[in-house]
A and B are shown apart, each in its own frame.
Chain A
Amino acid sequence: MTLRVLLVEDDRELRATLREALLLEGYQAVTAVSLAEANTIFGQTQLDSNTRAPMFDLVLLDLGLPDGDGEEFLSTVRRRHSTPVIVISARDTDRQKIGLLDAGADDYLVKPFSVGEMLARIRVALRHKGNPLRASVTHYEKAGVHIDLADHRVSRDGQSIHLTPTEFNLLARLVRSAGQVVTHRQLLADVWGQEFIEHTHYLRLYMGQLRAKLEATPAEPQLLLTEPGIGYRLLDADA
């Protein structure tokens, strides 16, 4: 079945280019030029009349739209479905982007971005679809690092690695969203608790420790990637 993508982008040229790229990749693309139009399209076609399945498998949402607030649209999308939302932001919409990621958007792209980057993000988001935290994901394997969440076992190049409980929780949270960005707030709230969401320095220190244990060269991480100003991303195991 062809996967359907809703592309919300007001710039004509960019919309046409991205649409072309999505079609070439084999997706079906529906475009909207404003939030109002996106709301209408999404509201009218939420459920396919025949299959009762959601009409869209993924939403690409540009934040620089003339008619308003992406947050409202995100909650419309989220009200009934876990359709993945990837936010496209320019530098002046950075703050809004972080807000949307905290509110449950799945990933983001910063303008200008390459088509390859966009397609890779779409693939990861679709894999996570329907399971934002995929409790069932218990294994991660990449570049010599094995992580088994169920057995609480982590090893690198066959050598077992001891992690403290907090380090393990932090790593587990990243493994469940492997390939996707997890914001500072989300990590702090999930690992330490709501009252710690401003304590970014906890993350800096624990991520430093994790890298020292898991990465060959901690100063040039290959797995535990930093998204400056946003959060962290564990490299997708299939990338």
Chain B
Amino acid sequence: MSKKITVLYAEDNEHDVLATERAWHKNKIENDLIIVRDGEECIDYLYHRGKYSDADLHPWPALLLLDLNMPKLDGLGVLKILFEDKVRDPLSIVVLTTSDLDEDKIASYNYGVKNYIRKPVGFGNFSEAIKTINLYWALVEAE
């Protein structure tokens, strides 16, 4: 049976966070959506550093929704760290784009990311994206 996976969402834009939370709520998605607001916080979460040191409270996500344009460490910086550290557990990554700018796509493609969602994350484009990365089974909708 399907196991409920956690989704980590790295996003500094409050409007996009709100829109994504709304999509979660509206579509009764039961997966936990954990929000981190910049690249450093994202890395802290994944490596159980600082306020995320308790690994039981902060489970490993199976999916990372990653905004590229963030303060401190940006999305490409996060990708670089994850790409170079090959010992981590499997983590599917979907990059969020604001436009169809090819340079962003090419840069993240170099870190092995092939999946994009054009922001904001809605139910439609989100379920489409996780379908393509074979995580569809992991999308839990409440009865």
Q: Do chains A and B interact in one complex? A: no
